[in-house]
């Protein structure tokens, strides 16, 4: 596994982190406790007491402090040990690892790399979490698979035509249409027009539409998608180019792919459908379809992982549809190479399939 460490990972929904109820999560194989003190402030510590590695997620919040409830070591909000029961003086240097943590939008983000390099500006510019113009729904899903397979799935939507043939019912045009793929410094953008197809339940019309579909996939695995419906003929009149995106979009998705361990991944999603375009019945129908589709992804990706595990030396064959996934993987590997010490420390000894 190659991971970028100097990046913000989504560890939880912010609302899940209830005051004075420490929560255990894993990110990049590391046990982390996320806790919110009575004042509402959030922190993320390594979930191992320095004393005997007991989990601090079984600990007790005491004001702005967190106490390990095995033998009582008390930590302040910066991870310093401020009390050891039965010991008169506490050496100054005793501290647990603290991960920079930010509550932003509706997610709790943790920074897995060098603390000095933590930069809020690197939280991907995903938008729409609280936009009341949209009907929203959210969810999450765990995969017994490496995160890369989940990212690959989202970066190559040609699979929608096959894996989701019975749920999303997009037809094979999806798989045959080659999207445009643009590499950026920490993301890849992918867009396509789907011409003269169904409108996905939009209000006020039974007509076919041209649909413009755009998604940007950011390091380490954060995704914004937007979808915009147009009258049939628009794609042709634009010659397949991008339309004006300053206008309001019809629906969007924000998704985060977090490696819990080398073989397990948590997937968070929030979807919005414009009230101007869709009503609640259309939102509910879409929500049901999306959840069925994600179950189809889960079955396939977990089976793919099992096949990889039984043939770790087997390599993938590249097809044109892989382009987005390949570019994203190259970005990941390029950034990771610039983080030599962290990556050498956390590189798993497990084997994985490469690309031929």
Distance separating alpha carbons of residues 30 and 33, to the nearest angstrom: 10
Q: Which of 61, 82, 94, 102 binds its own copies (CB under 8 A)?
A: 94
Site for its own copies in 6-35 (CB under 8 A): 29-31
Nearer to its own copies among residue 20 and residue 120 (C-beta): 20
Indicate whether 87 belongs to the interface with its own copies (CB under 8 A). yes
Near its own copies by CB under 8 A, which window of 70-78, 104-112, 218-226, 268-276? 70-78
Measured from the CB of residue 206, what is the shortest distance to its own copies in angstroms?
A: 29
Distance separating alpha carbons of residues 218 and 156, to the nearest angstrom: 14
Q: Which of 310, 338, 344, 349 binds its own copies (CB under 8 A)?
A: 310
**To 10 degrees, what angle do helices 323-337 and 147-155 make?**
140
Distance separating alpha carbons of residues 331 and 234, to the nearest angstrom: 33
Q: Which of 21, 52, 334, 347 binds its own copies (CB under 8 A)?
A: 52
Distance separating alpha carbons of residues 137 and 115, to the nearest angstrom: 34
Decide: helix, strand or coil at residue 279: coil
Indicate whether 55 belongs to the interface with its own copies (CB under 8 A). yes
How many other C-beta atoms can be found within 10 angstroms of the C-beta atom of residue 299? 11
Report H helices in the chain: 147-155, 173-176, 234-237, 280-310, 323-337, 340-346
Near its own copies by CB under 8 A, which window of 42-50, 188-196, 216-224, 271-279? 42-50
Indicate whether 304 belongs to the interface with its own copies (CB under 8 A). yes
Site for its own copies in 174-213 (CB under 8 A): 175-178
Residue whose token pair is 């113009």: 133
Indicate whether 98 belongs to the interface with its own copies (CB under 8 A). no
Measured from the CB of residue 221, what is the shortest distance to its own copies in angstroms?
A: 18
Structure-block tokens of residue 181: 């793929």
As beta bridge partners, residue 10 has: 109
Backbone angles phi and psi of 251, in degrees to 5 = -150, 160
Indicate whether 38 belongs to the interface with its own copies (CB under 8 A). no
Near its own copies by CB under 8 A, which window of 5-13, 113-121, 171-179, 207-215? 171-179
Indicate whether 354 belongs to the interface with its own copies (CB under 8 A). no
Indicate whether 353 belongs to the interface with its own copies (CB under 8 A). yes
**Site size with its own copies, rule: CB under 8 A:** 54
Indicate whether 299 belongs to the interface with its own copies (CB under 8 A). yes
CB neighbours of 68 closer than 8 A, spacing ≥ 6?
Answer: 49, 51, 54, 56, 58, 59, 74, 75
Site for its own copies in 135-164 (CB under 8 A): 152, 156, 158-159, 161-163
Nearer to its own copies among residue 96 and residue 270 (C-beta): 96
DSSP 301-332: HHHHHHHHHH-TTPPBPP-GGGHHHHHHHHHH
**Contact residues for its own copies (CB under 8 A)?**
29-31, 47-48, 50-55, 58, 60, 67-73, 84-87, 94, 152, 156, 158-159, 161-163, 165, 172, 175-178, 299-300, 303-304, 306-308, 310-311, 314, 316-317, 319-321, 353
């Amino acid at each position: 596994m190659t991971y970028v460490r100097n990046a913000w990972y989504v560890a939880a929904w912010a609302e899940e982190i209830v005051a004075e109820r420490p929560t255990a999560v894993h990110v990049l194989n590391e046990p982390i406790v996320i806790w919110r003190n009575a004042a509402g402030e959030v922190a993320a510590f390594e979930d191992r007491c320095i004393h005997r590695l007991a989990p601090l997620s079984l600990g007790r919040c005491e004001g702005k402090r967190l106490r390990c409830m095995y033998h009582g070591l008390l930590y302040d909000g910066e991870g310093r040990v401020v009390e050891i029961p039965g010991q008169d003086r506490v050496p100054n240097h005793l501290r647990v690892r603290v991960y920079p943590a930010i509550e932003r939008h509706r997610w709790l983000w943790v920074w897995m790399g060098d603390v000095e390099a933590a930069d809020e500006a690197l939280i991907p510019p995903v938008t729409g979490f609280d936009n009341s113009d949209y009907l929203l729904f959210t969810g999450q899903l765990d995969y017994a698979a490496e995160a890369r397979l989940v990212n690959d799935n989202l970066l190559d939507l040609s699979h929608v035509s096959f894996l989701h043939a019975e749920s999303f019912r997009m037809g094979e045009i999806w798989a045959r249409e080659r999207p445009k793929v643009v590499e950026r410094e920490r993301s890849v953008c992918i867009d396509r027009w789907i011409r003269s197809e169904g409108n996905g339940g939009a209000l006020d019309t039974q007509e076919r539409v041209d649909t413009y579909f755009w998604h940007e996939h950011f390091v380490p695995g954060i995704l914004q998608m937007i979808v915009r419906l147009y009258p049939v003929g628009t794609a042709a009149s634009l010659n397949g180019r991008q339309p004006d995106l300053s206008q309001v979009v019809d629906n969007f998705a924000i998704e985060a792919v977090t490696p819990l361990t080398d073989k397990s991944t948590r997937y968070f999603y929030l979807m919005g459908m414009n009230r101007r375009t869709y009503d609640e019945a259309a939102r509910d129908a879409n929500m049901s379809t999306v959840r069925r589709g994600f179950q189809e992804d889960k079955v396939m990706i977990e089976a793919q992982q099992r096949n990889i595990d039984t043939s770790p030396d087997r390599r993938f064959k590249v097809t044109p549809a892989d382009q987005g996934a390949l570019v994203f993987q190259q970005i990941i590997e390029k950034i990771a190479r610039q983080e030599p010490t962290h990556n050498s420390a956390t590189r798993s000894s497990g084997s994985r399939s490469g690309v031929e």
